[in-house]
Structure 1
Amino acid sequence: MTALLLALFAVLLVCGAPIAVCLGLSSAIVIVVQGLPVSVLAQRSLNALDSSPLLAVPLFILAASLLNAIGVTTHLFDLVRMIFGRIRGAVAQVSIFVSLIFSGISGAALADIGALGAVQINQMTAQGYRKEFAAGLTVAAATIGPIFPPSIPIIIYASVANVSTVQLLLAGIVPALVITALLMAQVAIIARVSNLPRDDMRPAMGDVAKKFVVSFPALLAPVLLIGGLMSGWFGPTEVAGMTVAYALFIGIFIYRSLALRATLTALRETVEATANILFIVSTAALFAWVLTLDQVPMKASAFLLSLSDNPLVLLLLVNILLLVVGMVLESIAAILIIAPIIAPALTAAGVDPLQLGIVFVLNLMIGLLTPPVGMSLYMVSIITKMPITRVIAGVMPFFIPLFLSLLAVSVLPGLSTWLPNLLMK
């Protein structure tokens, strides 16, 4: 059964079918061939969507679209440029830091690139940066978004792996800060070696104060979001709803820039993005169920535990597996297919579920930077109108801080577990 399922999936994938079609159609054919009730198709697909944490996904997508329509990204970028001043490579450092701030709103790498990519790249190229460098840094910095809360991949992983969504979101804060620090250190080294240009902005203190006042409502959004999670006042779904309400409030009453047309556009974008994600969720659940019928999760667990009983060795092996998977599978599909197989085995071997969740998601986010299915690469290629090969060349130096971050999170469980354990006692 498993061999037929994987063979059909591979054929459909090679033929260029969308990933959700590959998952659903291969599962449907196997179910029919095995003589199982056809009603299983609808039952399993709908059950996968009957999940409270998944309600947060469309709400976070809508919040990010609304805040982008308001013009929050431009205010944030200008404020951070003023604060960083005229250090060498300042605009590049600003791009990383703004990605961290905006990640507290969007929850997805592609959302960060869509909202910030054009602004970041245009600002850097206007200052004299090479276009490849600007594109590569933008792609690399977007990996912060799915690690720092709110994170759509983390919410989906938690629902699949039966881990506390709130704890797993909190577990991503310190690793996201580590990624930010290492990326900024890499830029500082490149700035010194390659003599990157200084920022030409020379604001007076009054200008900085005015821009801070203008940007304050935007800065407050991630603070409210993370504060609500940490205090226990809100779960992920409630926080997502509050973020949408807050975006509407500041867009209508404070910035007064959220027109009806922009709101309708944000709603349409949310429906399209949510439909794509939930289509994959439902078909991947069907795919995983067929694998479970053939006891693949149990066999995989037994195989992994036969290789080693050392949690660190198993985690490093899973890192290699996920980096390869990230090259050929879309990240959400990979989470839905592989997490139910891998998570029980590594948890049984002693790997902390929170650490495993962050390692899992970070691996797949690095996969967004690797061909042939590197969605971040293609998105930046479209924004910059550059060949994909030039974008890949620009991102290559930034694999160093990303892999160092992955190694640190894999070797040091405390980076993922310290904060949630501290706050959730």
Structure 2
Amino acid sequence: MILTLMFVILFVLLVTGAPVAVALGLSSLFFISLSGMPNVVVLHNMVNGINSFPLIAVPFFILAGHLMNTSGITNKIFAFARATVGWMHGGLGHVNVGASVVFAGMSGAAVADAGGLGNIEIRAMRDAGYDTDFSVGITAASSTIGPIIPPSLPLVVYGVIANASIGQLFAAGLVPGFIMAASLMIMVAIISRMRGYPRDDRFMFGVFLRSFGDAILPLFTPIIIVGGILSGAFTPTEAAIAAVVYSMFLGVFVYRTLDTRRILRVSMETVETTASIMVIVAASAIFGWILTANQVAQKFAGTLLTLTDNPSAILLIIMLIVLIVGCFMETIAAITILTPVLLPVAVSVGIDPVHFGIILILNLMIGLLTPPVGLVLYVLSRVAEVPFERCVIATAPFLVPLLAVLLLLTFVPALSMWLPTALYR
């Protein structure tokens, strides 16, 4: 009865607009108080929840993304992508996807991609005569690649909560990320031919070499991060620190676009973002402890298994639940709430935690493109200066390839598991 009331309070608080951390904390405190346990249990579990070495990577990856946006690295990435794939039909649409793939290896956050590259991409596509709706739609869809290709903030948080190897999660995201990019480029090609969008320009090897020369140092960032992790040279946490050091080196000494004022500004932005994530993780730790102590996951698994014992059917039900939750909840909050409940169910039917992590994050990324809580859509609405409702309609066609990839990865685990299996197992 008390557990049911806890969920009711959580739901009411979320619906009324309370911050996720407050909703989790108050509902958990209600349960502990009525259960007769000392309130210090709340603080104890919250502190233990964030006392995790891998979580140190979170502020450093956030800071690295902010530094790259501020130092003008995004412009060089866009120019390189334009010289590489701009010659195709609907060239700037392909450039949009290509730039997101490169930036994904640097920031690991969809909102950072939309906010950093989005302004450059949408402005360039408008100037070239592309419809605003098409420009906004592909920019929103391509930003979801960021948290799948390593490094990835959501995968770090999931790895901590699920007690899964972050190195394996990063390795598992590489192939799915490129599959997402390919599917979006196919969609761009189809729409471009239907609407008669031109090639951006013919391929010129000299332009390609110049853009590659300008972008070569930023392009080393994903090589340093991903290569270092996969080779075992350093941990994901150390990779995040390396990314910050390298970004600072480029911004301060190479391009000289970072000064003390800008560094202080991005540092404060990083502190604010990190604090909000850590408070959610801390509040979810006590919530997750209550769920574990009361065997909620086991009971939920038992309920699902009474409906069907088919692993594919159970996985579809889980994905539907995540897709619905992702429409209403921010990614980190959804990960912290759903993982303790859904992961044991997935494991009970033979789903690898690493594979589950990839499809969970991709599912939640799709939620970033759907109302009412589509953070990427809100960012692009401000960047493109178009109504939120128009952003929703513009993005809808690109949900088709993303959902197709989600289904493909869900039912063909080898696509995400062969690389971590080869490297770590």
* Corresponding letter in the other structure for 2:95: V
Task: Write the distance in 2 (CA, Å) between the matches of 1:202 and 1:181.
Answer: 21
Paired residue for 1:362?
Answer: 362
Deviation at 1:66?
0.8
* Corresponding letter in the other structure for 1:116: L
Q: How does 1:75-114 map to 2 (within 5 A)?
A: 75-114=76-115
Paired residue for 1:255?
Answer: 255
Deviation at 1:119?
0.8
User: Where do 4+ consecutive residues of structure 1 move more than 6 Å?
Assistant: none
Task: Write the distance in 1 (CA, Å) between the matches of 2:115 and 2:38.
Answer: 42
Q: How does 1:399-418 map to 2 (within 5 A)?
A: 399-418=399-418
Task: Write the distance in 2 (CA, Å) between the matches of 1:403 and 1:239.
Answer: 31
Percent identity among equivalent residues?
Answer: 44
What is the CA deviation profile of residues 40-65 of structure 1, one whole-angstrom value per residue up to 9, with x for unaligned ones? 12111111000111110100001111
* Corresponding letter in the other structure for 1:44: N
Task: Write the distance in 2 (CA, Å) between the matches of 1:198 and 1:289.
Answer: 55
Gap change, CA 1:204 and 1:342, over 3 Å in 2:
closer
Of 82-91 and 34-43, the range deviating more from structure 2: 82-91
Structure 1, unmatched stretches of 5+, are none
* 1:124 maps onto 2:94 in alignment: no
Report the 3-state secondary structure (helix = DSSP H, G, I; strand = E; otherwise coil) of the residue aligned with 2:303.
helix
Of 152-161 and 248-257, the range deviating more from structure 2: 248-257
Q: How does 1:5-404 map to 2 (within 5 A)?
A: 5-199=6-200, 201=201, 205-404=205-404
Task: Write the distance in 1 (CA, Å) between the matches of 2:189 and 2:269.
Answer: 37
User: Does the CA contact (< 8 Å) of 2:291 and 2:341 recur in 1?
Assistant: no
* Corresponding letter in the other structure for 2:187: Q
Report the 3-state secondary structure (helix = DSSP H, G, I; strand = E; otherwise coil) of the residue aligned with 2:89.
coil
What is the CA deviation profile of residues 325-351 of structure 1, one whole-angstrom value per residue up to 9, with x for unaligned ones? 111122111111111111122112111
User: Does the CA contact (< 8 Å) of 1:146 and 1:153 recur in 2?
Assistant: yes
Task: Write the distance in 2 (CA, Å) between the matches of 1:85 and 1:46.
Answer: 50
* Corresponding letter in the other structure for 1:106: S
What is the CA deviation profile of residues 113-154 of structure 1, one whole-angstrom value per residue up to 9, with x for unaligned ones? 111111111111111111121111111111101111001111
TM-score with structure 1 setting the length: 0.96
* Corresponding letter in the other structure for 2:342: I
User: Does the CA contact (< 8 Å) of 2:60 and 2:244 recur in 1?
Assistant: yes
Structure 2, unmatched stretches of 5+, are none
Of 146-155 and 284-293, the range deviating more from structure 2: 284-293
CA RMSD of aligned residues (A): 1.5
Task: Write the distance in 2 (CA, Å) between the matches of 1:138 and 1:2.
Answer: 42
Report the 3-state secondary structure (helix = DSSP H, G, I; strand = E; otherwise coil) of the residue aligned with 2:327.
helix
Report the 3-state secondary structure (helix = DSSP H, G, I; strand = E; otherwise coil) of the residue aligned with 2:233.
coil
Task: Write the distance in 1 (CA, Å) between the matches of 2:103 and 2:244.
Answer: 15
Report the 3-state secondary structure (helix = DSSP H, G, I; strand = E; otherwise coil) of the residue aligned with 2:370.
coil
User: Does the CA contact (< 8 Å) of 2:86 and 2:92 recur in 1?
Assistant: no
* Corresponding letter in the other structure for 1:179: M
* Corresponding letter in the other structure for 1:280: I
User: Does the CA contact (< 8 Å) of 1:128 and 1:197 recur in 2?
Assistant: no
Task: Provide the aligned length of Structure 1 versus Structure 2.
Answer: 424
* Corresponding letter in the other structure for 1:173: L
Task: Write the distance in 2 (CA, Å) between the matches of 1:182 and 1:110.
Answer: 21
User: Does the CA contact (< 8 Å) of 1:343 and 1:353 recur in 2?
Assistant: yes
TM-score with structure 2 setting the length: 0.96
Task: Write the distance in 2 (CA, Å) between the matches of 1:327 and 1:267.
Answer: 30
Deviation at 1:205?
4.0
Report the 3-state secondary structure (helix = DSSP H, G, I; strand = E; otherwise coil) of the residue aligned with 2:129.
coil
* Corresponding letter in the other structure for 1:114: G
Deviation at 1:372?
1.2
Deviation at 1:370?
1.1
What is the CA deviation profile of residues 368-422 of structure 1, one whole-angstrom value per residue up to 9, with x for unaligned ones? 1111111111111121221111000100100110011001101101011001111
Deviation at 1:35?
2.4
Report the 3-state secondary structure (helix = DSSP H, G, I; strand = E; otherwise coil) of the residue aligned with 2:372.
coil
